Amino acid sequence: MAVKTIISRPIYGTLSPQPGKHHLFIADAEGALAIIDMAGKAPSGFFDGAEIDFIPGPEGKHIAALEALEPAQLHLPPSFASLLPRLRQTLTNAHMGLRIYLAGTEGLIGQAMQVALEAGIDHTSMQTEHRGSLARRMQCVHCKGITENVTTQPALCSHCGLLLLVRDHYSRRLAAFQGVCINAEDRSEIPPMEEAFP
Amino acid sequence: MGITFRKETFRDDYTFRNSPEHIRRFPFPFNEDAYMYAVNIEPHVVGPKGSVLENLIDVDEHYVAEMQDRALVLAEDPLRCQSLPHMTLAGWDLLELLMEQQALGYPEHFTLERNGDRWRWINRPLGIDDTFTFGDTSTLPYGPMEYITRQSQGDFCILDQRDGNLWMDAGMVTTQADWSLDFDIGMNFFEWHAPVPLAHEKGIFTRALKFLTNIQQGKPARRLNWTMTINPRLDTSPENYHKWGPDRATVTPDNVGQKVHLRVELQSFWRLPRSNGIVFPIRCYLINMDELVTQPKWARRLHRVIRDLPEELATYKGLTRYRPTLVEWLSKLDDGSPTSSGFGPD
Ligand code: HEM
Q: Tell me if A182 sits within 8 A of A164, measured CB to CB.
A: yes
Q: Is residue B126 part of a domain?
A: yes
Q: Which of A90-94, B191-195, B238-242 has the lowest average pLDDT?
A: A90-94
> How far is the C-alpha of A128 from the C-alpha of B294, rounded, in Å?
58
Q: Are residues A147 and A106 in the same domain?
A: no
Q: Is residue A48 part of a domain?
A: yes
Q: Is residue B97 part of a domain?
A: yes
Mean pLDDT of all residues in A86-101: 91
Which residue, by CA, sits nearest to atom 37 of ligand 1?
A: B196
**Above 60 in pLDDT, residue A3?**
no
Structure pTM?
0.94
Q: Is residue A5 part of a domain?
A: no
Residue A162 structural domain: 136-195
Q: What is the 3-state secondary structure (H, E, C) of chain B?
A: CCCCCCCCCCCCCCCCCCCHHHHHCCCCCCCCCCCCCCCCCEECCCCCCCCCCCCCCCCCCCHHHHHHHHHHHHHHCHHHEEECHHHHHHHHHHHHHHHHHHHHHCCCCEEEEEECCEEEEEECCCCEEEEEECCCHHHCCCCHHHHHHCCCCCEEEEEEEECCEEEEEEEECCCCECCCHHHHCCCEHHHHCCCCCCCCCCCHHHHHHHHHHCCCCCCCEEEEEEEEEECCCCCECCCCHHHHHHHHHHCCCCCHHHHEEEEEEEEEEEECCCCCCEEEEEEEEEEEHHHHCCCHHHHHHHHHHHHHCCHHHHHHCCCCCCHHHHHHHHHCCCCCCCCCCCCCCC
Q: Is residue A159 part of a domain?
A: yes
Q: Is residue A12 part of a domain?
A: no
> How far is the C-alpha of A184 from the C-alpha of A189, rounded, in Å?
9
Q: Are residues A174 and A94 in the same domain?
A: no
Q: Tell me if A46 sits within 8 A of A20, measured CB to CB.
A: no
Q: Is residue B238 part of a domain?
A: yes
Q: Are residues A105 and A174 in the same domain?
A: no
Angle at B281 (CA atoms; ends B43, B246), nearest 5 degrees: 125
Q: Please identify, by atom number, the ligand 1 atom nearest to the C-alpha of residue B171.
A: 5
Contact yes or no for A7 and B239 at CB 8 A: no
B195 chain-A contacts, CB cut-off 8 A? 6, 8, 167, 169
A10/B217: higher pLDDT: B217
Nearest-CA residue of chain B relative to A168?
Answer: B195
- Per-residue confidence band for A125, with pLDDT thresholds at 50, 70 and 90: confident
Q: Is residue A8 part of a domain?
A: no
**Above 50 in pLDDT, residue B18?**
yes
**Above 70 in pLDDT, residue A2?**
no
Q: Is residue B345 part of a domain?
A: no
Q: Is residue B6 part of a domain?
A: no
Which residue, by CA, sits nearest to atom 1 of ligand 1?
A: B280
Mean pLDDT of all residues in B190-217: 96
State the total domains in chain B: 1
Residue B114 structural domain: 20-42+55-331
Q: Which of A105, A130, A155 is the last residue of a domain?
A: A130
Q: Are residues A60 and A114 in the same domain?
A: yes
Q: Is residue B336 part of a domain?
A: no
**Above 70 in pLDDT, residue A1?**
no
Q: Is residue B252 part of a domain?
A: yes
pLDDT of B1 reads 67
Q: B84 and chain A: CB distance < 8 Å anywhere?
A: no
Q: Are residues A71 and A96 in the same domain?
A: yes
B184 chain-A contacts, CB cut-off 8 A? 171
pLDDT of B343 reads 86
**Above 60 in pLDDT, residue A4?**
no
- Per-residue confidence band for B126, with pLDDT thresholds at 50, 70 and 90: very high
Q: Are residues A171 and A148 in the same domain?
A: yes
| B223 counts as catalytic | yes
Q: Please identify, by atom number, the ligand 1 atom nearest to the C-alpha of residue B184.
A: 10
Q: Is residue A118 part of a domain?
A: yes
User: Which of B186, B195, B246 is the closest to A173 by Cβ?
Assistant: B186
- Give the model confidence (pLDDT) of B51-109 as tens digits: 999 999 999 999 999 999 999 999 999 999 999 999 999 999 999 999 999 999 999 99
Q: Which of A82, A103, A130 is the last residue of a domain?
A: A130
Mean pLDDT of all residues in B194-221: 97
- Give the model confidence (pLDDT) of B281-330 as tens digits: 999 999 999 999 999 999 999 999 999 999 999 999 999 999 999 999 99
Nearest-CA residue of chain B relative to A176?
Answer: B183
Which residue, by CA, sits nearest to atom 9 of ligand 1?
A: B193
SS3 A23: strand
A133 CA: distance to closest CA in chain B (Å): 24
Mean pLDDT of all residues in B152-164: 97
Q: Name every protein residue with a CB atom under 6 angstroms from any ligand 1 atom.
A: B 37, 39, 41, 157, 159, 166, 168, 177, 179, 184, 192-193, 195-196, 199, 204, 208, 212, 223, 225, 227, 280, 313, 316-317
Strand order in the sheet with B110-115: B110-115, B118-123, B128-133
- Per-residue confidence band for A5, with pLDDT thresholds at 50, 70 and 90: confident
B86 chain-A contacts, CB cut-off 8 A? none
- Per-residue confidence band for A95, with pLDDT thresholds at 50, 70 and 90: confident
Which residue, by CA, sits nearest to atom 27 of ligand 1?
A: B208
Q: Is residue A13 part of a domain?
A: no
Q: Are residues A91 and A155 in the same domain?
A: no
State the total domains in chain A: 2
Q: Is residue A69 part of a domain?
A: yes
Q: Are residues A122 and A157 in the same domain?
A: no
Q: B191 and chain A: CB distance < 8 Å anywhere?
A: yes
Q: B193 and chain A: CB distance < 8 Å anywhere?
A: yes
Q: Are residues A107 and A29 in the same domain?
A: yes
B187 chain-A contacts, CB cut-off 8 A? 8, 171-173
**Above 80 in pLDDT, residue A182?**
yes
**Above 90 in pLDDT, residue B33?**
yes
Q: Are residues A112 and A148 in the same domain?
A: no
Q: Which of A112, A130, A148 is the last residue of a domain?
A: A130
- Non-local (6+) Cβ contacts of A141 within 8 A are A178, A179, A180, B180, B183, B238, B239, B241
Which DSSP symbol is given to A47?
Answer: G
CA dihedral B295, B296, B298, B299 (to 10 degrees): 120
Mean pLDDT of all residues in B111-134: 98
Q: Are residues A159 and A96 in the same domain?
A: no
Q: Tell me if A9 sits within 8 A of A170, measured CB to CB.
A: yes
A186 CA: distance to closest CA in chain B (Å): 6
CATH value at residue A61: 3.40.50.80
- Give the model confidence (pLDDT) of B215-235 as tens digits: 999 999 999 999 999 999 999
Mean pLDDT of all residues in A121-143: 93
Other C-beta atoms closer than 10 Å to the C-beta of A2 total 8
